[in-house]
Amino acid sequence: MNARLVMAAGLAAALAVPYLVRSDFWLGFLITVLLFAVMGMAWNILGGYAGQFSFGHAAFFGTGAYAAAVLHIGFGLNPWLGLAVAALAGGLVALVIGYLSFRYGLRGSYFALITLAFAEVLRILANWAEFTGGGVGLYVPLKVGIANLQFSGKTGYYYVALGFAVLSLAVGWALEHSRLGAQLMAIRENEDAAQALGVDTFACKLKAIALSGALTGIGGGFYTHYYLYIDPGIAYGPGVSVEILLVPIIGGLGTVFGPLLGSAVLHGAGELARRLMGDAPGLNLIFYGVLLIVMVRFMPEGLMGLVWRLRHRWRRVADA
The predicted-structure confidence for 79-97, as pLDDT tens digits, reads as follows 999 999 999 999 999 999 9
> What does the pLDDT read at residue 287?
77
Q: How far apart are CA 314 and CA 320, in angstroms?
A: 10
Is 8 inside a domain boundary?
A: no
pLDDT (mean) for 171-189? 95
CATH no. for residue 58?
Answer: 1.10.3470
pLDDT tens sequence across 202-259: 999 999 999 999 999 999 999 999 999 999 999 999 889 999 999 999 999 999 999 9
Decide if 266 contacts 292 (C-beta within 8 A). no
> What does the pLDDT read at residue 282?
66
For the chain, give the number of residues: 320
> What does the pLDDT read at residue 40?
97
Higher pLDDT among residues 124 and 8, named by residue: 124
Mean pLDDT check: name the lowest of 133-147, 172-186, 292-306. Answer: 292-306
CA-closest candidate to residue 82, choices 62, 68, 102:
68
> What does the pLDDT read at residue 319?
72
pTM of the model: 0.93
> What does the pLDDT read at residue 291?
80
Decide if 241 contacts 64 (C-beta within 8 A). no
> What does the pLDDT read at residue 6?
80
Percent of the chain with pLDDT over 90: 74
Is 42 inside a domain boundary?
A: yes
In the structure, what pLDDT confidence band is assigned to residue 308 with cuts at 50, 70 and 90?
confident
Percent of the chain with pLDDT over 70: 97
> What does the pLDDT read at residue 296?
78
Q: Is 150 helix (H, G, I), strand (E, B) or coil?
A: strand
pLDDT tens sequence across 35-66: 999 999 999 999 999 999 999 999 999 999 99
From first CA to last CA, the distance across the chain in angstroms is 25
Is 12 inside a domain boundary?
A: no
Which of 102-111, 179-188, 271-280 has the highest mean predicted lDDT (pLDDT)? Answer: 179-188
- Average pLDDT over all residues of the chain: 91
Decide if 111 contacts 98 (C-beta within 8 A). no
Q: Which amino acid is at 110?
A: Y
Is 11 inside a domain boundary?
A: no
> What does the pLDDT read at residue 309?
79
Please count the structural domains in the chain.
1
Q: Where are the beta strands (DSSP E) in 50-161?
A: 138-139
Is 14 inside a domain boundary?
A: no
Q: How far apart are CA 193 and CA 254, in angstroms?
A: 19
> What does the pLDDT read at residue 320?
66
Domain span at residue 246 reads 26-319
How many CA atoms are closer than 13 Å to the CA of 46, on its beta-carbon side?
A: 37
pLDDT above 60 for 1: no
Give the helix ranges, DSSP H, for 258-320: 258-277, 283-298, 302-319
Is 220 inside a domain boundary?
A: yes
Is 248 inside a domain boundary?
A: yes
Q: How far apart are CA 172 and CA 42, in angstroms?
A: 9
Is 260 inside a domain boundary?
A: yes
Distances (CA, A) of 47 to 76, 85, 184, 225: 36, 24, 10, 28
In the structure, what pLDDT confidence band is assigned to residue 280 with cuts at 50, 70 and 90?
low
